[in-house]
Amino acid sequence: MSHELAEKTAGLASRVSNLAITHTDDDSRNLLEIQDRLADLSLAAIVRDLDEEAVAYQKAIKGLNDAIDFIGEADGQIANVAKAITLASKAADLAEKALTSAAKA
């Protein structure tokens, strides 16, 4: 059983949280909602037996890596917060799909 999905989901949640505090209004609210969702998904990934070879798992890891790479350390404002929100939200969707697929297996 791999915890890579849990670790990357938690890592992205942390970056999204850091990014949220540097923004205001809708951007901040959207980022905080995504951060909460990612934190929940990270906890769910810890308790699931996940197949690293499953297509949904691989897509989730790629989506998480893409969002992490784009956001970076998120220690300040980034030029395109809308893209960061989109990538983080997509990564959460992919992680959720991987977890759902694992539950059905």
Predicted confidence (pLDDT) per residue in 44-94, tens digit: 999 888 888 999 999 999 999 999 999 986 555 577 888 899 999 999 999
Q: Which domain holds residue 71?
A: 4-104
Looking at the structure of the chain, the number of domains it has is 1
pTM of the model: 0.90
Quick count: other Cβ atoms within 10 Å of Cβ 2?
13
CA distance 70 to 90: 13
Phi, psi of 77 (to 5 degrees): -70, 145
Residue type present at position 19: L
Q: What is the pLDDT of residue 103?
A: 73
